[in-house]
Every structure is written in C-alpha cells, then in structure tokens.
A and B are shown apart, each in its own frame.
Chain A
C-alpha cells in the first residue's frame, strides 16, 4: 500500500513539473544563399544612468528584458514600469538576466534624470540599465523592436503607444514579448523568461 502511495506521489510531482519549452525566434525570416537569417537587434550604442556606454557587446553574455518609456509619460509607462519591477523582483538574483529600458525622450531624459529615476525605483544600475542617446537612433531602435512585435509597421501603432515588453536572447534575437499593461500577460511572460534562462544556463549535474 505504501509503495502505491509513493508511486502516486512521484507521478503527481512529475505531472506538475513545468514542461521544458523552447521559445521561437520572433520576427521576419530571410533566406540568403540557402541560409536562414532571423531578425536580430541592430547595432546600437547608448549611455546608461551611470554614464557607461551600453551596446550589443555589453549584453552578449546575458538575456535581457527590454522596453521603451519616458519619465514624463502620463499614461502607459507607470503601468508598464510596475510590471518591469515585478520582473526585476522575481529575477533580481539571476545573474544571466538584465533589464534594459530605453527612453524615447532623450531631450528631457538625460543621464542625470535617468539616474534619479532609477534611484527612486531603488534598483541596481548593474542589473537594470536605463538608456539614453541620440533621439533618432532611439526611435529607429524602438521602431525596429515594435515592427517585430506588431508584424505590420504601417497599420499598427509604433513605439508611441506601446506598452510592449520584449525578451532578447544572447544572439540578439527577440524570443518573446508581452503587453506590459496587462499583469496576466506579464505572468505568462515571467514563465517565458524562465524558459529562456533554462535554455541558456549550463546544465548542472
């Protein structure tokens, strides 16, 4: 009888275990000379709240969660920032994950403003980068991200009214995104982050 109970418990635990999932690579796919080319985050170089330049190379060893915002945003951004804080809280001690928030208003959001903003959120500047730089380059970057997220760049909204949060892997590919104003969608996104972390972290025997 005891054996049967043990078997039932083991089977129950196994069925509860989160299924391993490989996230897709999101965005346009091109076939060039027989090779499949996936969309990837373009080259960039912006400065963070500690006046340190951040580019793709700075992030090459990490997966990262990315969004676009501006500190004076009256509507969507506070809601999205609250969800970004949820992500930060859950993965605060996860070395392989960074958070990257790009301002789309560099005229007002300079390094000093972003430093104050991140200090007010009480987050580590080693973990969560707030980036500013050339306005056109930031907007180009946002457009590139959200064309992927929306698939149709002409019809759907762009960076301006988007609360999208995206997940980027170590190869600069977008692997998942969610609606940052929707807590339920973010709950699912947290699982996607964990799936990608499981994918990139070496298996410990």
Chain B
C-alpha cells in the first residue's frame, strides 16, 4: 500500500512535471486561474436551483413576468454540467510546444465560456428570486 502511495505521488508529480516549458506553464496557470475563480460558485448553482424548486405555485405565478422558472433551472443545471464536463476533458496533450499552446488557447476560450455561463445563470436566478 505504501509502495502504491509512492507511485501515486510520483505519478502526480510526474503529471505536474509534464509542463516543463515556462510559456506552457504560464498558459496552463491562466486557464486554471479562471477555473479557480468560478469553481467556488458551483454550490451556488445548486442552492439557487433548490430555492426555485421550493417556490409555491402562487409564487411561481407571481414571478411569471420576470421569467420562466424551468428555463432558469435548466440554465443553472447546464452551467454546472458545463464546468464538470470541461474539467473531465481538460488534459494538455503530449506533443510539441505548438500543439500544447494551441490546445491551451482553445481551452482558455472554453473556460471563459464556462465562466460566463455560470455567472449569467447565477445572475438570472438571483434576479428571479428577488
């Protein structure tokens, strides 16, 4: 077991050491910075969805002019899934610096989209619940 733990640690260190090029490391850090900025808001997506689910038919009816509860709930769920899917897929490929750089440029666009989807969903839900 201890042996395995060492392997586990080494693998983890090795995966970090894969980013040897300072420019690639900097790009990766910038992508992760956006992730770290919005990841703490994931539980907010869930809590806002729960608050909307708890609204009574009368409250939903009173808010019908502000928006559609189902649409707002779906937006919250999609934003949450967007972040989880992005994290599952994020893996800097093996290969040349150019290959890694273009991958990270695309990932920067993707994580910024994840961020704006999350912030929009939160803002819409908060406005709806006011």
Interface residues of A (CB under 8 A from B): 70, 72-75, 78, 81-82, 85-86, 88-89, 92, 105, 107-108, 121-123, 136, 139-140, 142-143, 146, 153, 157-161
Tell me if B4 counts as interface (CB < 8 A to partner A). yes
> Are B43 and A89 within 8 A (Cβ)?
no
Measured CA separation A109–B126 after assembly (Å): 30
Residues on A with C-beta less than 8 A from B39 are 75, 160-161
Known: A157-B43, A160-B39, A161-B42. 11 other contacts (CB 8 A): A82-B8, A85-B8, A89-B1, A89-B5, A107-B81, A108-B84, A108-B88, A146-B43, A158-B42, A158-B44, A158-B47
Measured CA separation A75–B34 after assembly (Å): 13
> Are B43 and A122 within 8 A (Cβ)?
no
Minimal Cβ-Cβ distance residue in A for B36: A75
Residues on B with C-beta less than 8 A from A74 are 32, 35, 87, 90
Measured CA separation A161–B46 after assembly (Å): 14
Residues on B with C-beta less than 8 A from A143 are 43, 46-47
Tell me if B12 counts as interface (CB < 8 A to partner A). yes
Contact of B1 among A73, A88, A140 (CB under 8 A): A88
Tell me if B41 counts as interface (CB < 8 A to partner A). yes
Against A, the Cβ 8 Å flags (1 = close, 0 = not) of B1-37 are: 1101100110010000000000000000000100110
Interface residues of B (CB under 8 A from A): 1-2, 4-5, 8-9, 12, 32, 35-36, 39-44, 46-47, 50, 81, 84, 87-88, 90
Measured CA separation A160–B36 after assembly (Å): 10
> Are A121 and B4 within 8 A (Cβ)?
yes
16 A-B pairs whose Cβ atoms sit less than 8 Å apart in the complex: A72-B87, A74-B35, A74-B87, A78-B12, A88-B1, A105-B88, A121-B8, A122-B1, A139-B43, A140-B50, A143-B43, A158-B40, A158-B42, A158-B44, A160-B43, A161-B42
Nearest 6 pairs of A and B residues by beta carbon: A158-B43, A160-B42, A72-B88, A161-B40, A157-B40, A139-B46
Minimal Cβ-Cβ distance residue in A for B88: A72
Residues on B with C-beta less than 8 A from A78 are 12
Residues on A with C-beta less than 8 A from B87 are 70, 72-74
Residues on B with C-beta less than 8 A from A85 are 1, 5, 8
Take A72-B88, A158-B42 as given contacts and tell me if A89 and B2 are in contact as well, using a CB distance cutoff of 8 Å.
yes
Measured CA separation A153–B47 after assembly (Å): 10
Residues on B with C-beta less than 8 A from A88 are 1
Measured CA separation A142–B47 after assembly (Å): 11
> Are B8 and A159 within 8 A (Cβ)?
no
